[in-house]
Amino acid sequence: MAEPTDVQRLVKQLMAGASPEENRALLDALMSGQVASIFEKLQVEEEPTLRPVPTEVQGLRVRLDLHGAKPPVWRRLELPGDLTLPRLHDVIQAAMGWYDSHLHRFRTGRDHRSPYLVTNFDVDEGEDGVLEDDVRLDQLLATKGDELWYEYDFGDGWDHVLRVEEVLEEPPSTVHCVGGRMACPPEDCGGIGGYEGLAAWVRSGYDDALLPDGFDNSAHAHDWLPLDWHPDHFDLDEVNAALAVAVAEPVAVTGELAELADQLEGRGVRKLREVLGRLPSHGPMDVSDGEAARLTETYRLFLDVIGDGVALTGAGYLPPSVVERFAKLSGITRWWIGKANREDMTPPVAAVRDTARALGLVSVRNSRLTPTAAATRCAPHPRALWQHIVGRLPLGTKDVDRQAGWMALAVACSGVPAEEWRSETSDLMFALGWRSGGDRFSPPSAHSPTLEVLDQLAGAAGTGWRLAGTDLAVAATARAVIRRP
């Protein structure tokens, strides 16, 4: 007999796709107390039937439809038959425009009771079955008319069906979209019903009379909707650009970052894989001597200012004369609104000192801040100093600092403009399970000692908080860290 906490799920599973007669029979059984045999039947799961792996790979032209959407929301895709189901999941997410922020499931039929493939999440929850990781597309679809169903977000219940339109003798060299219609619904909009209400409101020109329930007003709804979302929008080039990112092989990483990537993959989250799969992530890992000098300038100036060492104040701060001199040489005084002569009142100076210490460039002994042996050796040689910094990143001993550091490095190495580092890093940290305070829905801050170092390398001391654009040398630095043997 099922546990009481399972009853609602099992009843929903049984009723999904049932005929009116079957539903009446279920109600009769519930009323008469004859539920044990029903739940026992549900607990005997039928496994999907897989075809043998073909000796030759063929291509499949499939139509992917969002089930129940009117007018139809669909994409026509050409896929190689040897595509594994986890990669097919990536393809569906990219082709439709989903954000991959919920669980998914592949099943062999429309009925929710149909045999399905289990995910790593299911295995972690104690389920047995055929793991989707080991299954290819051509083991489920092989002839014209064959169907495979894909459910995304068990709350909203987005059902998709892939139907084979044509078997191609030659598999496509890469996944691509050849047609489609309509935009993907917004995430978490309440399923087909919620989507239809939003679509009607947008198509009306945002008529207040059609504002869907759940929004305080039109401004609230506009803020919630994805920017420029319109239900009738479809752009083939946009879809294929998203597919190119989705199927790109991620750059090879090892150690902690590889473990974090595996952790996310195990949860069915592909965000980090997508970041590491971006073309710039595969770029060069070295910088020129001139770039090394520019990247390390802030730290070299700081080491030059403190010389053989400086006595700290009674409160443990740098002397005002040192703060003032460094702030002027580094460019901080050009944008900082304060006097820049007290370390406790000039956070940009304190940030350089803190990261220099974390990088092993300075240390405090007997109330004096002095350069370390490594700093003395490297400071006259910008490339050597750059290599030292690469060898020390990411910074931190706490899990949150190290994981945020790895995520920041992954984002920076992928060529993301500096003004987007924090938002993307925060999204990745959210995927890893970190939250802001006690609110489980709020993404965490992206701040970390490693991100602070990346800011300094990009010239934050001279520009303040106005870092923008892609610095190719900073991206190469981040790649040198994450691809370090």
pLDDT, averaged in runs of 10, over the chain (485 residues): 48 56 65 55 69 95 97 97 94 93 94 93 91 95 97 96 96 95 96 96 96 92 92 96 85 92 80 88 95 98 97 96 96 92 95 97 96 96 97 96 97 95 95 82 92 97 89 97 92
441: left (phi over 0), alpha (psi -120 to 50) or beta: alpha
Residue 18's pLDDT is 58
Q: Where are the beta strands (DSSP E) in 21-136?
A: 59-66, 74-80, 104-107
Would you say how long the chain is, in residues? 485
- pTM (whole model) above 0.75: no
100: left (phi over 0), alpha (psi -120 to 50) or beta: left
Strand partners, 382: none
Residue 468's pLDDT is 92
342, 336 Cβ separation under 8 angstroms: no
Give the torsion through C-alpha atoms of 359, 363, 364, 370, to 10 deg: -130
Q: What is the distance between the alpha carbons of residues 7 and 185, in angstroms, rounded to a whole number?
A: 30
Residue 262's pLDDT is 87
Strand partners, 330: none
Residue from 254, 286, 253, 284 nearest 386 by CA: 286
Q: What is the distance between the alpha carbons of residues 41 and 13, in angstroms, rounded to a whole number?
A: 12
Residue 41's pLDDT is 47
Angle at which helix 347-358 crosses helix 449-457, to 10 degrees, equals 110
305, 322 Cβ separation under 8 angstroms: yes
Tokens of 325: 């001199």
Residue 246's pLDDT is 83
Residue 1's pLDDT is 41
Residue 103's pLDDT is 92
